[in-house]
Amino acid sequence: MPSLHRMHTPLIDPFARPISYLRVSVTDRCDFRCAYCMAENMTFLPKKELLTLEELDRMCSAFIGLGVEKLRITGGEPLVRRDIMRFFDAMTRHLDRGALRELTLTTNGSQLRKYARDLYACGVRRVNVSLDTLDDAKFARITRWGRLAQVLDGIDAAQTAGLRVKINAVALKGFNEDELFHLTDWCAARAMDLTFIEVMPMGDLGGEDRQDQYWPLRDLRARLAERFTLVDLAERTGGPARYVQLAETGQKVGFITPLTHNFCESCNRVRLTCTGELYMCLGQEDMADLRAPLRASAEDGPLVDAIRAAIARKPKGHDFDYTRQGISGQMTRHMSHTGG
């Protein structure tokens, strides 16, 4: 029988960073085909390879027992997973007893009209919505299958249900540069914070060129500063974002620059794929198979041992890099597989 010490001692990585944040991809499927995220003609995983909802519950519960306090559900698009609300409902027991401090998700917004009230009832209080443009034609082009009106309606539904919405926008050169102030003003008018993300070198996009898409956030920030007074905030979440407040609107704007290593020293997170692979770093290929020990035993001891062994391999930082000649550190897997 596993010792109580081994089963419940919090997770600490080799660099003395407590692991308190788990991002969980519940599906690799999505109802969009965003050009920087996946190829248009994707081959998705067979159902038997995916963790069942019950296995996701058991997996997440094991991490919560080891000190994980924040759970973010991702995909693909998490809300297209069949019966996904059963999983959210199951996680409320951890919120109710105080072991889990936050349950949240990142979504493309397409299903929020359908699920916003249910999410709030399950204890979700805020969501991140990925939205790169407010132009109908450009939205259709970048998402390939998406409809902007559906997403905007979903955001309305989320705010009506009491969910706080934060917008995540990928900075894409030649695509949404001209919408910087429009997007910022739109978020401010709706009391939504906004985070800009540099495009990351992940997955084969079927002809899309990462180098052509790359818009450095230092340039975006400088442009923002031409109109607004940017006040640096000391706020740290253990994650990649660095925040400023726009003095004129009071709104918070974040910058995620995965290529600059400016957040690795405080990284408190790991990522679980929909097939049970644990990636200790988004920018490294090293991963641990947690599905095998999960399915091999009805007891959690082997799973906990596998989690601890994986965390012991968590690296100090990632290898992403852009140069004028090309991209190094490129990951072969798609973001839709790992979870954003």
- Residue 68 counted as domain residue: yes
Tokens of 262: 């400016």
> Per residue in 264-290, pLDDT tens?
777 899 999 999 999 998 777 789 999
Distance CA 195, CA 246 (A): 13
Binding residues for GTP: 23, 72, 106, 166, 269-271
- Residue 29 counted as domain residue: yes
- Residue 1 counted as domain residue: no
The model carries a pTM of 0.87
* Mean pLDDT, range 109-119, rounded to an integer: 97
- Which helix (H) or strand (E) segment is 74 a member of? strand 70-74
pLDDT computed for residue 333 by the predictor:
45
Contacts of residue 267, Cβ cutoff 8 Å, sequence gap at least 6 = 17, 238, 239, 281, 317
- Residue 286 counted as domain residue: yes
> Per residue in 204-226, pLDDT tens?
444 445 567 789 999 999 999 99
> Per residue in 181-192, pLDDT tens?
999 999 999 999
Nearest Cα to Cα of residue 52 among 29, 31, 23, 82:
82
Q: Give the chain's end-to-end CA distance (angstroms, integer).
A: 36
Number of domains the chain contains:
1
Binding residues for [4Fe-4S] cluster: 30, 34, 37, 264, 267, 281
Query: Residue 44 is part of a domain; what is its CATH number?
Result: 3.20.20.70
- Residue 7 counted as domain residue: no
Binding residues for S-adenosyl-L-methionine: 36, 76, 130, 200
- Residue 9 counted as domain residue: no
Distance CA 147, CA 150 (A): 6
Domain housing 319? 19-338
- Residue 5 counted as domain residue: no
Binding residues: 23, 30, 34, 36-37, 72, 76, 106, 130, 166, 200, 264, 267, 269-271, 281
